[in-house]
Amino acid sequence: MKKILKTSLTLTLPISVEYETFEEDLENGLPEQVDLVAVTFTLAGKTGRKRKIDILQLLDESEVIALEDETGEQHDT
């Protein structure tokens, strides 16, 4: 009989963040904005072939906002 254990696991992986920036739009009162395009990491398969995995769709809204904020801060410097 197969047994299943449900638990949580926190991993730290190096990721690559692709983003677009939108300049400040003073006419409409919008600040400079950052829009994430992809959040990827590289995973080696059984044969050693590297695969780029996009996990943007797996992130919840708070994680996306945190990454956008961090990316915007680094973009400003």
pLDDT in tens, 13-37: 899 999 998 888 888 888 888 899 9
Single-letter amino acid, residue 15 = I
CB-CB neighbours of 34 under 10 Å: 19
Mean residue pLDDT across the chain: 89
**What pTM did the predictor assign?**
0.73
Taking the C-alpha atoms of 61, 62, 66 and 67 in order, what is their torsion angle to the nearest 10 degrees? -30
Given a cut of 70, is residue 9 above it in pLDDT?
yes
pLDDT score at 75: 64
Beta carbons of 21 and 34 less than 8 angstroms apart: yes
Reduce the DSSP state of residue 47 to 3 states and report it: coil
